[in-house]
Amino acid sequence: MEYLDLPPMLGASGQVRLPGSKSISNRVLLLAALAQGETLVRDLLASDDVDRMLEALSALGIAWSRDGERDDYRVVGAGGAFPVKSAELFLGNAGTAVRSLTAALALSGGDYRVSGVARMHERPIADLVDGLRQIGAEVRYTGTDGCPPLRILPAQIRSGGTVKVRGDVSSQFLTALLMSLPLTGGEATIEVVGELISKPYIAITLDLMARFGVQVRREGWERFHIPGGVSYRSPGTVFVEGDASSASYFLAAGAIGGGPVRVRGVGRDSIQGDVRFAEALAHLGARIEMGDNWIEARAPESGVLSAFDLDLNHIPDAAMTLAVAALFADGPCTLRNIASWRVKETDRLAAMATELRKVGATVEEGRDYLVVMPPATLRAAAIDTYDDHRIAMCFSLVSLGGCRVRINDPKCVNKTFPTYFERYGEIARAVPVVAIDGPSASGKGTVAARVATALGYHCLDSGALYRVVAVAAQRAAVDGADEAALARIAAELPVRFEDARVWLDGVEVTDAIREEHISVRASQVAALPAVRAALLERQRDFCRPPGLVAEGRDMASVVFPDARYKVYLTASAEARARRRYKQLIDKGLAANMESLVKDLQERDARDAARTVAPLTRVADAVLLDTTDMGVEEAVAFVLHRVHAGTDAPV
Ligand code: DC
């Protein structure tokens, strides 16, 4: 399973240019395909769902081309139904494409098959099929009744009249009927049965149909009249707005992580209902500003988001972002009227409840609502994404709680926002990590501890962890060659660090881990890959706000490869031997310079040659040779780099 680890973040600020709206992109493509004339579609969304639509249009005989390197497309309209009368279309998990194409195909007088991924074959489409059958369309279920795959056959289509369609499961059925009915040429009325959900999406449909020359008259949200004798005409150029649902992640990041975060591509004039997510955020206390084409969010004055109880029926997609924002609120939060979550890319109600619990929230999952009780502190967790782009994107925000989070199968964001994590990385500021590596006796332990104190950062002495494993193994009388048993000890290690002291299972071992025979055993256990793997996550847990100084041989390469500052501390073997000599003499122990130098040289050679975590300086680490340098000078050097924000290697 592929995954992406997001480090704990300190906050978020900056600007993001949004990708094009999925809802607008797929609607405009279909309207342009059915219209008379050529349409230039500017800033089309580049994503899987849009690719499925483009492929389908090609298969149906619609000519389109990409205009240069930009996300601009020219679509040559058919001026009515699709010219190709027989086709098999695979539409992945693109709900917008399946629903709207099914309706247009049913009125195109051909023999078509429509299918998708397994999940698409569980997503309901019966309300739309029932509507289409009322005007004579012949649509058959070839798999499970009520769901794709479908076979559509030529039929005698009644021109106009009244069609009834349910509006309480998905608004996409109504959108599909609205966009396709002008193909019949007759005057038609659509009556919505049940309370129409997600109304703003219908508003997008009507707005775009009007741009292509078909004005629908609506009576409330119950009845829609399509005039007779109308047909779509290209408006020439259509600009696709930025995606307002995608905007929600960044706006929430600004509200949670301080901000300001500004999104460009949607604003006050947007036709997308999800811009009203900004209102919901404001209701939570976030400070929101809006321009014609941008929205900006900052944290509340108080610093904390307020608990909320909101009906979110009008913004079902962006509401998922609020469910994660609830983790940062000052009390239990209720998201109401979100039953449509159950028929989306996955059962989002169940999935969100499960994943929110993983990070520590207490969650009540109702039939059409969710109550999220935020935890006192967030827990690092691996988030499953259920092939649902929005789950992947909204859970990235957990990292703003100063908590690392793993996103499984992160590529599912390709559905609507292939570059999401890059954009998120640009606005979120990772908790800074200073990784200090180097050979034994280079003074890295002393330097790391002093740097951490000076910066007020946490400190990880990774060698101490291996030493504690050695002590625990000795106490449990585990054989030094029993890798599996040692890895178990490492995984469960009941260790606690406080200031410069160390406890194992409640017993202080600060001095015990420094004994010579433990050094030898520590170096043996550290050579076991299973032990190293068992300690990996535990080491990463040390990374918390405001920052971490991590010391040890694989800090910059394996444990924190993205560390902001990497320092490789070294000194000649003679200089290191002199320091060790002084330490031993100060402790009243016997010491011999010559053998110390020889020992160190041999150990360096062994360390560099070993296969497991060899001692190496990574390319992006700055080399600090302390042969002729005191501790103070070395500490000052590291601090200077951190204060100057310099992370480039020299
Ligand atoms: O730095 P130290 O002497 O306390 O480390 C104890 C042992 O653990 C030593 O043999 C090196 C090894 N070690 C390691 O392999 N990887 C680390 N990140 C830290 C220490």
Cα–Cα distance for residue pair 186/547, rounded to 1 Å: 67
Please write the tens of the pLDDT for every residue from 517-535: 998 899 899 999 999 999 9
Produce one character per residue of 357-392: b if its CB has 16 or more CB atoms within 10 Å, e if not. bbbbbebeeeeebbbbbbbeebebbebbbbbbbbbb
The closest alpha carbon to 99, from 58, 65, 52, 136, belongs to 52
Cα–Cα distance for residue pair 253/299, rounded to 1 Å: 9
CB of 522 closer than 6 angstroms to any ligand 1 atom: yes
Catalytic residues: 317
Report, as an integer, the average pLDDT of 300-325.
97
Closest approach atom of ligand 1 to CA 445: 1
User: Given a cut of 50, is residue 649 above it in pLDDT?
Assistant: no
Taking the centre of ligand 1 as the mean of its atom positions, its distance from the CA of residue 553, in whole angstroms, is 7
Provide the pLDDT for residue 28.
Answer: 98
Taking the centre of ligand 1 as the mean of its atom positions, its distance from the CA of residue 466, in whole angstroms, is 6
Ligand 1 atom 20 nearest Cα:
463
The tokens describing 47, both together, are 């994503």
CB of 463 closer than 6 angstroms to any ligand 1 atom: yes
Provide the pLDDT for residue 160.
Answer: 83
User: Given a cut of 90, is residue 568 above it in pLDDT?
Assistant: yes
Percent of the chain past pLDDT 70, that is, above it, reads 99
Ligand 1 atom 1 nearest Cα:
463
Closest approach atom of ligand 1 to CA 551: 18
Closest approach atom of ligand 1 to CA 555: 18
Banded pLDDT at 433 (limits 50, 70, 90): very high
Report, as an integer, the average pLDDT of 244-267.
97
Taking the centre of ligand 1 as the mean of its atom positions, its distance from the CA of residue 510, in whole angstroms, is 15
Closest approach atom of ligand 1 to CA 444: 1
Provide the pLDDT for residue 5.
Answer: 96
Banded pLDDT at 556 (limits 50, 70, 90): very high
Report, as an integer, the average pLDDT of 486-500.
93
CA 40 from centroid of its chain's CA atoms: 32
Ligand 1 atom 2 nearest Cα:
463
The tokens describing 506, both together, are 């409640």
CB of 542 closer than 6 angstroms to any ligand 1 atom: no
Please write the tens of the pLDDT for every residue from 71-87: 899 999 999 999 999 99
Q: 45-49, 321-325, 586-590: which range is least confident on average?
A: 586-590
Please write the tens of the pLDDT for every residue from 630-644: 999 999 999 999 988
What number does CATH give the domain 462-544?
3.40.50.300
The closest alpha carbon to 9, from 326, 319, 328, belongs to 328
CB of 550 closer than 6 angstroms to any ligand 1 atom: no
User: Given a cut of 70, is residue 215 above it in pLDDT?
Assistant: yes
CB of 523 closer than 6 angstroms to any ligand 1 atom: yes
Banded pLDDT at 411 (limits 50, 70, 90): very high
Provide the pLDDT for residue 211.
Answer: 98
Q: SS3 for 477? A: coil
Please provide the DSSP assignment of 573-597 as one string: HHHHHHHHHHHHHHTT----HHHHH
Considering the segment(s) 431-457+546-650 as one domain, its CATH architecture is: 3-Layer(aba) Sandwich (3.40)
Banded pLDDT at 9 (limits 50, 70, 90): very high
Q: Where do the structural domains in the chain lie, given as residue ranges? A: 3-18+243-429, 22-239, 431-457+546-650, 462-544
Taking the centre of ligand 1 as the mean of its atom positions, its distance from the CA of residue 552, in whole angstroms, is 6
User: Given a cut of 90, is residue 584 above it in pLDDT?
Assistant: no
Our mutation pick for probing the ligand 1 site, out of 436, 446, 447, 466, counting the most ligand atoms within 8 A of Cβ, is 466
The closest alpha carbon to 592, from 602, 581, 604, belongs to 581
Closest approach atom of ligand 1 to CA 522: 7
CATH of the domain spanning 3-18+243-429, picked from 3.40.710.10, 3.30.70.1560, 3.65.10.10, 2.50.20.10: 3.65.10.10
The CATH homologous superfamily of the domain defined by 22-239: Enolpyruvate transferase domain (3.65.10.10)
Radius of gyration of the chain (CA): 31
Ligand 1 atom 6 nearest Cα:
463
Cα–Cα distance for residue pair 316/336, rounded to 1 Å: 10
Provide the pLDDT for residue 529.
Answer: 95
Taking the centre of ligand 1 as the mean of its atom positions, its distance from the CA of residue 5, in whole angstroms, is 25
Q: Which helix (H) or strand (E) holds 311?
A: strand 309-311
Taking the centre of ligand 1 as the mean of its atom positions, its distance from the CA of residue 598, in whole angstroms, is 19
Q: 170-174, 411-415, 545-549, 599-603: which range is least confident on average?
A: 599-603
Ligand 1 atom 19 nearest Cα:
463
Banded pLDDT at 603 (limits 50, 70, 90): confident
Taking the centre of ligand 1 as the mean of its atom positions, its distance from the CA of residue 551, in whole angstroms, is 9
Our mutation pick for probing the ligand 1 site, out of 437, 460, 461, 462, counting the most ligand atoms within 8 A of Cβ, is 462
Banded pLDDT at 608 (limits 50, 70, 90): confident
Ligand 1 atom 15 nearest Cα:
526
Our mutation pick for probing the ligand 1 site, out of 460, 509, 523, 616, counting the most ligand atoms within 8 A of Cβ, is 523
CB of 554 closer than 6 angstroms to any ligand 1 atom: yes
Please write the tens of the pLDDT for every residue from 153-181: 999 999 989 999 999 999 999 999 999 99
Let me know if the fold of 3-18+243-429 is the same as that of 462-544. no
Instruction: Indicate yes or no: pTM above 0.95.
Output: no
Taking the centre of ligand 1 as the mean of its atom positions, its distance from the CA of residue 554, in whole angstroms, is 9
The closest alpha carbon to 295, from 259, 326, 324, 341, belongs to 259
The closest alpha carbon to 124, from 175, 73, 63, 172, belongs to 172
Please write the tens of the pLDDT for every residue from 122-137: 999 999 999 999 999 9
CB of 462 closer than 6 angstroms to any ligand 1 atom: yes
User: In this structure, are residues 543 and 404 in contact, taking their beta carbons and an 8 Å threshold?
Assistant: yes
Q: Which helix (H) or strand (E) holds 433?
A: strand 433-437
Taking the centre of ligand 1 as the mean of its atom positions, its distance from the CA of residue 459, in whole angstroms, is 15
Percent of the chain past pLDDT 90, that is, above it, reads 90
Ligand 1 atom 5 nearest Cα:
463
Report, as an integer, the average pLDDT of 228-254.
97
3-state secondary structure 516-550: HHHHHHHHHHCCCHHHHHHHHHHHHCCCCCCCEEE
Taking the centre of ligand 1 as the mean of its atom positions, its distance from the CA of residue 430, in whole angstroms, is 26
Our mutation pick for probing the ligand 1 site, out of 469, 510, 542, 553, counting the most ligand atoms within 8 A of Cβ, is 553
Q: Which helix (H) or strand (E) holds 419?
A: none
The closest alpha carbon to 178, from 146, 208, 142, 144, belongs to 208
